[in-house]
Amino acid sequence: RTAVVRSDWLVEYWNWEKRCCELTVRLKDVVMSHQKFVGVAAVSVDRTLLVACERLGLYATVWNMKTGESVAILAGHALPVTAMAFSPDAASVATGDEGGLVRVWSTVSGDCILTLEGHKKVVTALAWAQLPLCSQSLLASASLDCSVRL
């Protein structure tokens, strides 16, 4: 399954096995600047939340996938956001930027709860993994500096 965020900020949730769109949601409260195209987006594992930002955007917005209402604004990056991923429980979302900074945010409050430094170039990918036999998860970040950090 794949979530497609169109340039008009309409979200289509596709089931590729059935070859059909299962859900369409119009995102509300979208504030677009001159860069009106979606740069990066992610959907929570339980498909209840979507996080997205416009191309070259310095902040991301979390939306409720059932209502299309914005839930939180994640503002704090000084450089454009390039990657994002939800934690397995959807309580947190990680964002990475062009300067190599990774931030972890609360999806409820929108507060930054952790800032991770170390990459020397743009963050290209973020992924969470649920650790077996415990309630903790692990965040991995990849960068153009040829490193992966856990």
Q: What is the pLDDT of residues 126-149, one digit of tens each?
A: 999 988 888 889 999 999 999 999
**Residue by residue, what is the 3-state secondary structure of the chain?**
CEEEECCCCEEEEEECCCCEEEEEEECCCCCCCCCCCEEEEEECCCCCEEEEEECCCCEEEEEECCCCCEEEEEECCCCCEEEEEECCCCCEEEEEECCCCEEEEECCCCCEEEEECCCCCCEEEEEEEECCCCCCEEEEEEECCCCEEC
pTM: 0.85
Q: What is the pLDDT of residues 10-60, one digit of tens each?
A: 888 888 899 988 888 877 666 554 456 677 889 898 989 989 887 778 889
